[in-house]
Amino acid sequence: MEDDFDYQAVPYGFTHCFNNQCPKGEKCLHRLVAMHSTDQYPTLSVVNPHCIPGDANTCSFYKSIQKIRVAWGVKHLLDNVPHKDAEQLKSLMLSHFGRGLYYRFYRKEKYLSPEQQEYIRRIFRQKGITEEPAFESYTEEYKW
């Protein structure tokens, strides 16, 4: 079990599994969330016990515990890019992510997933910028 688990990071509505008989429970994200649930929320999304299969290997609710490396902050992402390219890159990011999501990245309210980081890396390469995009920080987060 994860000692550094932050229950506040669990997405709203994420399903909890309280099946303590499941042989795959130690490796299931739904079970991990249930083990760390608190009395802060009086209602939760829960796997219906009548829908749990007899054979744990066929459980459609199973989700392996996996962490991903995410990036935070794009405020200084374009600091070392020529102005002309920086304007075009920002325009591409705004059209791809949308204004709201882009500014959530900017204010570090939302992290950039590995796929989103790869998109930015790709548009840098399209502009001929070989330097790796410099996000402000990185953390390991659960893959919900």
pLDDT digits (tens, 9 = 90+) for 103-125: 999 999 999 999 999 999 999 99
Residue 86 falls inside a structural domain:
yes
Note the pLDDT of residue 4: 81
Q: Are residues 27 and 80 in the same domain?
A: no
The structure tokens listed for 98 are 């949308």
Residues 75 and 133 placed together within one structural domain of the fold: yes
**Which own/partner pairs from 114-123 qualify as long-range (CB within 8 Å, at least 24 positions apart)?**
114/68, 114/69, 114/70, 116/71, 117/70, 117/71, 120/74, 120/77, 120/93, 123/89, 123/92, 123/93
Looking at the fold, whether 24 and 91 belong to one and the same domain comes out as no
53 and 84 co-located in one domain: no
Residue 28 lies in a domain: yes
Boundary of a domain, candidates 58, 76, 93: 58
Whether residues 118 and 82 share a domain: the answer is: yes
**pLDDT over threshold 90, residue 98:** yes
Taking only the tens place, the pLDDT of each residue in 57-85 is 889 999 999 999 999 999 999 999 999 99
Whether the per-residue pLDDT at 1 is higher than 50: the answer is: no
Residue 92 falls inside a structural domain: yes
Q: Can you tell me the distance from the alpha carbon of 111 to that of 136, in angstroms, rounded to the nearest whole number?
A: 11
User: For the segment 3-17, what is each residue's pLDDT rounded down to a tens digit?
Assistant: 689 999 999 999 999
The answer as to whether 1 is a domain residue is no
Give pLDDT, residue 33: 97
**Residue 95 sits in the same domain as residue 136:** yes
Instruction: Give the pLDDT confidence score for residue 56 in this predicted structure.
Output: 79
Number of domains in the chain: 2
d(CA 48, CA 90): 46
Where residue 54 falls among pLDDT bands split at 50, 70, 90?
Answer: confident
